[in-house]
A and B are shown apart, each in its own frame.
Chain A
Amino acid sequence: MTFVNWLKRNLVVIAGLLTLAYLLLPNIIVTVFSFNKPNGRFNYEWQRFSTDAWKDPCGVSGLCGSLSLSLQIAFWATLGATALGTAIAFALVRYRFRARGAINSLIFLPMAMPEVVMAASLLTLFLNMGAQLGFWTILIAHIMFCLSFVVTAVKARVMSMDPRLEQAAQDLYAGPFQTFVRVTLPIAAPGIAAGALLAFALSFDDFIITNFNAGSTVTFPMFVWGSAQRGTPVQINVIGTAMFVIAVLFVLASTVIGNRRNRRKA
């Protein structure tokens, strides 16, 4: 009886943890198989333990080149989308102007559009313009679809900002530029950072839009896609595992630092 009660009370916890397990299972597989030494070209079946791939992560031709290209594109796309998106978010929250509704829809639509539609239509445009597909077309596409997400993230933050803070700064002899640099920007920073992080993740991991508009340029996701057809090197798992671990450590470290700072100040 008590066990049934316990089960009833913790049903949601058990279900939640099972979902979490479902979410993490592929990552566990990816990690385990980064120590595999497969027979043949595909790394789908466990053979025997080996650290070969970890010792030589760039051992497959084109892998590290595509990784560095993806990082570069993600960096510039983040920069571009964050700058453009932050400006739009400020304009939307802080000013009244014409065509507001139309602009809101224009920002919402890319998020409500299947990637394949955007990818195909953008390719049509590039083909019509006779543009050379490659780094620049990928970058243009990434800034385009990251933009809306940055606007949404920054907008939420700016909307929750008390307008009196900026008025207080003006009241205390800060001109428009000083007000922006000393008060607006620092307070909006978490929203901008969240938007930028999202843009980076979206850009780095994008496959569908990139696949359409890359021409013969190969980003990291495209490299993985290609190897899924030709043969998956273990090094892919090494990179995937490393990224996962770095992300978890990064978040945990920033949480710990944040907690410690709060404790010290309190």
Chain B
Amino acid sequence: MATTKTQTDATEHSGDVRLSGISKTYGTFTAVHPLDLTVPQGSFFALLGASGCGKTTTLRMIAGLEEPSSGTVHLGDQDVTALPPYKRPVNTVFQSYALFPHLDIFENVAFGLRRRGIKSVKKQVGEMLDLVQLGEQARKKPHQLSGGQQQRVAVARALINHPKVLLLDEPLGALDLKLRRQMQLELKRIQTEVGITFVHVTHDQEEAMTMADQVAVMNGGRVEQLGAPADLYENPRTTFVANFLGTSNLIEAEVDTHGADEVVVKAAGDKLVLPVARCAAPARAGGKVLVGVRPEKISITHADEAGSIPEGRNRITGKISNTSFIGVSTQYMVDCAACPEFEVYAQNIDRDARLAPGADVVLHWNPAHTFGLDADQSLLAGTTGDAGVAEGETV
């Protein structure tokens, strides 16, 4: 796990967020299936999934804005399941911020302090506004600020209360791409500075991977996989994770031989090798398995040069159907017997002019970069066409 900070066991448990068997049903619809999750204190934790996957509902149950149908929520040793939101030491940065339109920036930020009966708030609010670089704007109304400024007010308004946990519900969703990048770094900086546990809900896999120490990928009300971003990316255990985090080429294959370290599979005549350790499926000889490889791990070579490919690499032949030039890289779509839309990303170091649509090519990669998945699931799970539930259903 990525959260191996220098902490003793005792402190590690005192501030953890622990969800035990927590679930949420609306009538016959189950938004969140019973779920166990521990968010270690001080970590930056992301709940990642498409809209309707239950991530926001999970977050709202931690905040107390949604009552779980079953299960408990613990903050450290305290059971907060029955506490209303205003009694929980937890604060939220809401989607589209929910800044109070009738109060100015200063009063928005001071709101939580005042409700807790703190009289002299001026100094604290001033400091907090300086932290988010909005000291000048204190007397403006929210609608007079830009999206990025509003976002920082929302963060300041929550952080000033020194919550045990800060919940962020798609906090960057309304910002444009450039600002979003900037705010990702900014939020990460603030988190490191204040050391508060952040639980961040997002549908943007890049955002989750850039910011979080740990990511829980959710789908259909369940956690599909939990782990550090690199771990999730390199070792997806389901097709959903493989497709939702980045892009994967998935090939349906049949197990040929099953050795101690390696599994050899056959896919449309090509023999491919993958490490046993990276195979998430029970691979018996003769059984089916899905073989996956990330597009950037693959080298593309024109068929005329096939002889120059070193031995011991997985290889597949095909024909380029489409290329798109991205700048730093070129993306090739290759039509192979095993997989009609094989994607390859090649760095633009030396471009081979022959690699144009229609060219016969050999794709090859290090067998160690191959992973295996259970063949008993949809190949397309987690691709954009498979979002399933409509936008906004879990708001």
A-side residues, CB < 8 A to B, are 162, 164-165, 167-175, 178-179, 182-183, 186-187, 265-266
Which residue of B87, B102, B141, B158 contacts A186 across the interface (Cβ within 8 Å)?
B102
A167 to B86 CA separation, bound complex (whole angstroms): 9
A187 to B101 CA separation, bound complex (whole angstroms): 8
Using CB atoms, name the residue of chain A closest to B116.
A173
Using CB atoms, name the residue of chain A closest to B111.
A172
A175 to B85 CA separation, bound complex (whole angstroms): 9
CB distance from B229 to the nearest CB of A (A): 28
Contacts of A172 in B (CB 8 A): 86, 91, 111-112, 115, 157-158, 161
- Decide: A170 near B86, CB < 8 A? Known: A265-B140, A265-B141, A266-B144: yes
Q: Is the CB of B94 within 8 A of A164?
A: yes
Q: Is the CB of B84 within 8 A of A170?
A: yes
Which residue of A171, A173, A178, A183 contacts B100 across the interface (Cβ within 8 Å)?
A183
CB distance from A114 to the nearest CB of B (A): 40
Q: Is the CB of B111 within 8 A of A167?
A: no
- Decide: A171 near B86, CB < 8 A? Known: A164-B95, A265-B141: yes
- Decide: A174 near B98, CB < 8 A? Known: A265-B141, A265-B144: no
Q: Which of A171, A173, A183 has the most CB of B within 10 A?
A: A171
Contacts of B91 in A (CB 8 A): 171-172
Contacts of B116 in A (CB 8 A): 173
Contacts of A162 in B (CB 8 A): 96, 98
Q: Is the CB of A165 within 8 A of B115?
A: no
A-B complex: 6 closest residue pairs judged by Cβ atoms:
A172-B112, A164-B98, A173-B115, A168-B98, A170-B85, A186-B102
Q: Is the CB of B65 within 8 A of A165?
A: no
Q: Is the CB of A174 within 8 A of B111?
A: yes
Beyond known contacts A167-B94, A170-B85, A171-B64: 16 more, CB 8 A cutoff = A164-B96, A167-B63, A167-B92, A168-B94, A170-B64, A171-B63, A171-B91, A171-B94, A172-B111, A172-B158, A173-B115, A173-B116, A183-B100, A187-B100, A187-B101, A187-B102
A178 to B85 CA separation, bound complex (whole angstroms): 13
Contacts of A173 in B (CB 8 A): 86-87, 112, 115-116, 161
CB distance from B45 to the nearest CB of A (A): 18
B-side residues, CB < 8 A to A, are 63-65, 84-87, 90-92, 94-96, 98-102, 111-112, 115-116, 139-141, 144, 157-158, 161
Q: Is the CB of B141 within 8 A of A167?
A: no
Using CB atoms, name the residue of chain A closest to B102.
A186
Contacts of A183 in B (CB 8 A): 100
Q: Is the CB of B65 within 8 A of A167?
A: yes
A110 to B196 CA separation, bound complex (whole angstroms): 56
Which residue of A167, A174, A186, A187 contacts B115 across the interface (Cβ within 8 Å)?
A174
A223 to B98 CA separation, bound complex (whole angstroms): 52
Interface of A is mostly: helix
Contacts of A164 in B (CB 8 A): 94-96, 98
CB distance from B146 to the nearest CB of A (A): 14
8 A-B pairs within 8 Å (CB atoms) are namely A164-B94, A165-B98, A172-B161, A173-B161, A175-B86, A178-B86, A187-B100, A187-B101
CB distance from B298 to the nearest CB of A (A): 45
A164 to B99 CA separation, bound complex (whole angstroms): 9
Contacts of A179 in B (CB 8 A): 86
Q: Is the CB of A169 within 8 A of B102?
A: no
Using CB atoms, name the residue of chain A closest to B85.
A170
Contacts of B158 in A (CB 8 A): 171-172
Q: Is the CB of A168 within 8 A of B86?
A: no
Contacts of A169 in B (CB 8 A): 100, 111, 115
CB distance from A259 to the nearest CB of B (A): 15
CB distance from A210 to the nearest CB of B (A): 37
CB distance from B167 to the nearest CB of A (A): 8
Using CB atoms, name the residue of chain B closest to A168.
B98
CB distance from A82 to the nearest CB of B (A): 19
A170 to B60 CA separation, bound complex (whole angstroms): 12
A183 to B144 CA separation, bound complex (whole angstroms): 19
CB distance from A169 to the nearest CB of B (A): 7
Q: Is the CB of B92 within 8 A of A168?
A: yes
Using CB atoms, name the residue of chain B closest to A178.
B115
Q: Which of A170, A172, A265 has the most CB of B within 10 A?
A: A172
A265 to B161 CA separation, bound complex (whole angstroms): 27
Contacts of A165 in B (CB 8 A): 98, 100-101
Contacts of A186 in B (CB 8 A): 102
A170 to B98 CA separation, bound complex (whole angstroms): 12
CB distance from A187 to the nearest CB of B (A): 6
Q: Is the CB of B144 within 8 A of A168?
A: no
A164 to B98 CA separation, bound complex (whole angstroms): 6
A128 to B186 CA separation, bound complex (whole angstroms): 74
CB distance from A177 to the nearest CB of B (A): 11
Contacts of A167 in B (CB 8 A): 63, 65, 85, 92, 94, 98
Contacts of A174 in B (CB 8 A): 86, 111, 115
CB distance from A175 to the nearest CB of B (A): 5
A170 to B161 CA separation, bound complex (whole angstroms): 13
Using CB atoms, name the residue of chain B closest to A266.
B144
Using CB atoms, name the residue of chain A closest to B395.
A164
A101 to B62 CA separation, bound complex (whole angstroms): 35
Using CB atoms, name the residue of chain A closest to B109.
A172
Using CB atoms, name the residue of chain A closest to B141.
A265
A183 to B115 CA separation, bound complex (whole angstroms): 12
Q: Which of B65, B90, B144, B158 has the most CB of A within 10 A?
A: B65
Q: Is the CB of A171 within 8 A of B144?
A: no
Q: Which of B65, B85, B157 has the most CB of A within 10 A?
A: B85
Using CB atoms, name the residue of chain A closest to B140.
A265
Contacts of A187 in B (CB 8 A): 100-102
- Decide: A170 near B141, CB < 8 A? Known: A164-B96, A164-B98, A165-B100: no
Contacts of B161 in A (CB 8 A): 172-173
